[in-house]
Amino acid sequence: MKVQGLNIDDVARQFGTPLYLYDGDTIIRQVESLKKAFDGADLRIKYASKALTNISILKLLQKNGVGVDAVSINEAKLAITAGHRAEDINFTPSCVDFSEIKEAVDLRLNVNLDNLPILEKFGKEYGNRYPVGIRLNPHIMAGGNIKISTGHVNSKFGISIQQLDQIRATIDKYNIVLQGLHIHTGSEIIETEVFMQMSDIFFGIAKDFKDLKFIDFGGGFKVAYKKGDKVTDLPAIGSQLAKKFSDFEKETGRHLQLWIEPGKYLVSEAGYLVARTNVVKETPTLTFVGLDTGLNHLIRPMMYNSYHEIVNISNPDGATKTYTVVGNICETDTLGSDRELNEVREGDLIVLKNGGAYGYSMASNYNSRFRPAEVLVLNGRAHLIRERDTLEDLLRGQKDVIG
């Protein structure tokens, strides 16, 4: 198995396992596909950096015309460190202390507020001296898993569209300059009509706020995890939204930018988690493939019941057998059940695909195990972009008070 002509087993031999490996060409190709799909609109792409925050990835996206969506002040600071301009960074946190909002203003970020108490505090502090956006909750259920569905009526995210009168009252009370409307309804959305529902809500509200500069549809575009998966029809969404923006401009004489916040869409398919087989364990009912990785490096199968294609790259011509692929963590960390793999032997390299999004960014040191190294392939060369943890990393910050 190769990435840009490089054998993954050679890369694993050089950098060790477990290893996160990213294909820079795939990331660039995904960026270009978005630009093409939304060609008819005044588009701004803001990468949802929570998916993968390595500064080399952030730099690669910046060089390809992509800004950043940050949900914490540290994500924003990482983006600035990677060369992103403050005006290209969207800051949309949830349930944070107001001090974090003030820090975002000090950094001159585009700030989106997602609750009425914070909007009230913002009005008292800044009045009309700093423009702000609002994240709305549209009461739309969408997404591949309830844990990543963020726009339904019981979600903690956004200000309910049923509270528009309170939003308007607060904006009028403090003369707040509302520059943006934001909705993100979830992840892995495949229904085009969800985005059309959002647009109907947006444009119904937009006429009332004369300072608007952008409408932000969030992200949630679905990528394929296995053959035959239905994915988001971006060309259909792009063309329909472009028309709606054009119609709004013709009707009102006002031009608005269209913002989107893809995360998984840009980096998921670019990433591979490369692991080595520690043991092949036969039981009366199952055959387990035990890897040198686990939920500490890829928690998505356990948290979201997500599917990741698994391939034995060391024995591609071996007879297929049924395996349950598990990790080395003292926890049930099943990465894939009942998988047909070419015969797996101790020491074989196993690749888990779609590892670019929410892999390393959700990794931990559970069981006091090290987080993997990260490698980015650019122009046919493999570059180490994060070193593997060491024992010193586990001890950093700890204080011995026992003596």
What CATH architecture does domain 271-355+357-395 belong to?
A: Beta Barrel (2.40)
φ/ψ bin of 117: left (φ > 0), alpha (ψ from -120 to 50), beta (otherwise): alpha
Euclidean distance between CA atoms 174 and 172, whole angstroms: 6
**Local confidence band at 380 (pLDDT 50, 70, 90 cut-offs):** very high
Euclidean distance between CA atoms 231 and 209, whole angstroms: 34
Euclidean distance between CA atoms 81 and 158, whole angstroms: 28
Instruction: Return the pLDDT at 139.
Output: 74
- Known catalytic residues? 330
Euclidean distance between CA atoms 43 and 232, whole angstroms: 18
Q: Which superfamily is assigned to 24-266 in CATH?
A: Alanine racemase (3.20.20.10)
**Local confidence band at 143 (pLDDT 50, 70, 90 cut-offs):** very low
**Local confidence band at 149 (pLDDT 50, 70, 90 cut-offs):** very low
Within 10 Å of residue 57's Cβ, how many Cβ atoms? 26
**Local confidence band at 138 (pLDDT 50, 70, 90 cut-offs):** confident
In this model, does residue 147 exceed pLDDT 90? no
Tokens of 153: 């009526």
| pLDDT tens digits along 150-171 | 445 666 778 888 899 999 999 9
- Map out the domains of the chain as residue ranges: 24-266, 271-355+357-395
Instruction: Return the pLDDT at 154.
Output: 64
In this model, does residue 15 exceed pLDDT 60? yes
Euclidean distance between CA atoms 240 and 170, whole angstroms: 33
Instruction: Return the pLDDT at 151.
Output: 46
Q: Which residues contact 29 (CB under 8 A, 6 or more apart)?
A: none
In this model, does residue 349 exceed pLDDT 60? yes
In this model, does residue 371 exceed pLDDT 60? yes
Instruction: Return the pLDDT at 157.
Output: 79
As a whole number, the mean pLDDT across the chain is 93
Instruction: Return the pLDDT at 249.
Output: 93
Q: Which residues contact 373 (CB under 8 A, 6 or more apart)?
A: 15, 16, 19, 20, 384, 386, 387, 388
Q: Which residues contact 97 (CB under 8 A, 6 or more apart)?
A: none
Q: Would 24-266 and 271-355+357-395 be classified into the same CATH topology?
A: no
> Higher model confidence: residue 148 or residue 52?
52
Q: Is the distance from CB of 183 to CB of 158 less than 8 angstroms? A: yes
| pLDDT tens digits along 193-226 | 888 888 888 888 888 899 999 999 888 888 888 8
